[in-house]
Every structure is written in structure tokens, then in C-alpha cells.
Amino acid sequence: MSSIFIGFDPRETAAYAVARESIRRHITQPIPVHGLVLDQLREQGLYWRPTERRLGRLYDVISEHEMATEFAISRFLVPHLAQFGWALFMDCDMLLRSNIARVFEGLDKSKAVYCVKHDHRPYLQSKMDGQLQSIYPRKNWSSFMIFNCDHGANKKLTPELVNTLPGRDLHRFCWLEDSEIGELSVEWNWLVGSDAECEPKNVHFTEGAPCFEAFRNVPYAEEWRATLSRWAA
């Protein structure tokens, strides 16, 4: 059993629509796709981290740091939400160009999480609509990750843990041993402007999706806009 969760942020509604539509267009199996919506998680009693608005931006009190998106921390609730099987979390600023069902093939059940192990060192100091560009170990590993919800190590990732640890610890997979992290090929989380040229299966507009004016002309922007038009038709 597999499932997919896409992070949702009201500022990136168009990006979320593109991510979901691009999955739908290519997928060949009936894999459920869910939106990870912060307000819903709060209503369900699964997310209670103290947050504030500072200068119009979301600020995580525990991490003592701004949150670029509403799903910056809530993504780590995916194993609890899915309960069993393989569950994929992905950022909303992505464009699938192939059958996402293939990413679940041949996974080793001894691994707790699979991701692309980027060595991402951003050259921009801000991203998206002026959000602070954070630098931390294993940056972007958690932007596209497949959880093995049946793995014992992921049972540690309870709502209590997710709601109390600093984000920097969660994003570096602090609850896992290195040997429990499997590796996906870079084509599954190809970072626009950072990764070497290839034929990506999943394009990640990590600095900013084409819905933001500063990123209207990045690689694959036309394909992104065509997907948005199909969704809106």
C-alpha cells in the first residue's frame, strides 16, 4: 500500500495545483494523493507547535527561526497520518514528468526513509516571495522523501516528537541512523539551478515556482504553466 502527501501553503495554491495535476497526468496506479494542510492538522489535534507572525512571515518559536512554508515541520507527521506502507511526502513546488508510481518500485524494507541525498548549497540569500534562504545539513533531503511507515525507527516520529523538536533536527533525520536512509536517484528531486543537467522525472523549483514573478523564466517554467492551464480548463 502506498500513499502520497503534498505540502500545501495558501501562498502557493497554483504550485500545489500543478504538483497534483502533474501526478494525475502520468500516474498509472490508483495511489491516493492527500494535501497536507496546516489548519486541518491543528483541528485534528496533531499540530500544536507555537508559531507567530513576524513582519508578515510565519515564525516557529521552538526552532527560533522563520518557516518558509506552512508545511516546513508538518511533513514529519506523514508516517503517523499514513500509518502503514510506503508514504511519499513532496513539496508543492514540484512538477512530475513521469509516472510517480515507479518511485515505489524495488524499495528495501530495511530502510526507514528514502530521499535524494543532495549536497545543496544555495547561491541566493532569499527565495520564493522574499523568504529567508536557510542553510542547514542535508538541505532538501526532506523535500521529497518516502517513509517506510512499518519501520520501527519511524514509530519514534510521534506527534509529540514532531511538535517539540527544533526543525533543524527533524530536517537532518535525527531519529534515524544513517544506514536507515536509502538513496533515490537525483532525477526524482532535480533542483532547478543547482543540479547537473539530466532528464528529470520530477522538477523541483526549490528557489521559487514560476507563480512568483522572479522565477517566471526558469527551466521548465513553460511546462509548469501548461500544466496549470490544463488543471484550470
pLDDT in tens, 43-65: 999 999 999 999 888 999 999 99
CA torsion angle 146 150 156 158 (round to 10): 80
pLDDT at 158 over 60: yes
Question: Would you state the pLDDT for residue 125?
Answer: 46
Question: Would you state the pLDDT for residue 127?
Answer: 47
Question: Would you state the pLDDT for residue 55?
Answer: 85
Domain 2-232 has CATH 3.30.70.1150: no
Q: Dig out the grid coordinates for 132 from the structure.
A: 529567508
Backbone angles phi, psi at 89, to 5 degrees: -105, 140
Burial track 21-52 (b if 16+ CB lie within 10 A, e otherwise): bbbeeebeeebebbebbbeebeeeeebebebe
Q: How confident is the model at residue 153 (pLDDT cuts 50, 70, 90)?
A: very high
**Integer Cα distance of 144 and 146 in angstroms:** 7
Question: Would you state the pLDDT for residue 163?
Answer: 98
Question: Would you state the pLDDT for residue 120?
Answer: 56
pLDDT mean over 154-167 = 97
Order of strands, sheet of 113-115, starting from the edge strand that comes earlier in the sequence? 33-36, 2-7, 86-90, 144-148, 113-115, 181-183
The average confidence (pLDDT) of the chain is 92
Question: Would you state the pLDDT for residue 57?
Answer: 87
pLDDT in tens, 95-143: 999 999 999 999 999 999 999 999 856 554 444 444 455 666 798 999 9
> pTM (2 decimals)?
0.91
